């Protein structure tokens, strides 16, 4: 079993691998969820804040130097981040929260967010309009045409397929193995 310090070092050295962050999440996720859920008014707000806290942890841990302060443990650092998030995050009303912890676990969300940022702009735009705003291919094509892009609804469908394929390829292989359902033909 790897120490917390080893896991942080491995997470920083091997960003193409999700296993170290996933292990830290498995080790400390329940502790942080308990802290966060005790400080929110609803389970939806707790889930939302929990995911945002892990997103913050994911980004801040890239430069975390536990060796600089030998008395600082990963657990105390994580609890401190959670406390900061609890005190500084303005939570939206429960009815406005679209996040589902069951559908998108925090580790997957962190790596998915990173992958989305790496998508080329045109693929990211088409994916956003389709998946976030639920626009039809026809509406996306009309928008792109109005912006000077000569595309049809069929072209949009092809762009979406390419966006999903590219997005999946940008996820670490172990994250894909953990979180994406694969169908196998036997």
Q: How confident is the model at residue 171 (pLDDT cuts 50, 70, 90)?
A: very high
User: How confident is the model over 29-58, as pLDDT tens digits?
Assistant: 999 999 999 999 999 999 999 999 999 999
Predicted structure pTM score: 0.89
Distance from C-alpha of 85 to C-alpha of 77, rounded to nearest angstrom: 12
Confidence band for 182, pLDDT divided at 50, 70 and 90: low
Burial 15-37 (b: 16+ CB within 10 A, else e): eeebbbbbbbbebbbeebbebbe
Cα separation of 26 and 6, whole Å? 15
**Residue 93, token pair as written in the block:** 């009303």
Cβ atoms of 175 and 111 within 8 Å: the answer is yes
144-168 tens-digit pLDDT? 999 999 999 999 999 999 999 999 9
pLDDT in tens, 70-125: 889 999 999 999 999 999 999 999 999 989 998 999 999 999 999 999 999 999 99
**Which pLDDT does position 181 carry in this prediction?**
73
What confidence score (pLDDT) does residue 67 get? Answer: 86
pLDDT beyond 70 at 142: yes
Give the pLDDT band (50/70/90) at residue 183: very low
Helical residues (DSSP H) of the chain, grouped into ranges: 4-13, 19-38, 43-61, 74-88, 106-118, 121-131, 137-146, 153-170, 173-179
Structural contact between residues 126 and 135, judged by C-beta atoms closer than 8 angstroms: no
């Amino acid at each position: 079993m790897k120490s917390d310090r080893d896991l942080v070092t491995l997470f920083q050295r091997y960003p193409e691998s999700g296993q170290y962050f996933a292990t830290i999440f498995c080790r400390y996720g329940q502790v942080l969820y308990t802290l966060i859920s005790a400080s929110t008014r609803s389970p939806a707000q707790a889930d939302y804040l929990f995911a945002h806290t892990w997103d913050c942890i994911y980004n801040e841990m890239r430069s975390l130097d536990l060796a600089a302060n030998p008395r600082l443990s990963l657990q105390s650092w994580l609890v401190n981040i959670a406390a900061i998030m609890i005190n500084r995050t303005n939570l939206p009303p429960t009815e406005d929260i679209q996040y589902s912890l069951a559908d998108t676990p925090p580790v997957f969300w962190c790596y998915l967010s990173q992958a989305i940022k790496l998508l080329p702009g045109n693929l990211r735009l088409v994916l956003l309009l389709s998946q976030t705003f639920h626009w039809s291919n026809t509406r996306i094509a009309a928008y792109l045409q109005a912006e000077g892009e000569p595309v049809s609804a069929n072209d949009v469908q092809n762009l979406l397929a390419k966006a999903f394929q590219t997005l999946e390829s940008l996820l670490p292989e172990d994250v894909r193995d953990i979180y994406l359902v694969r169908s196998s033909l036997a």
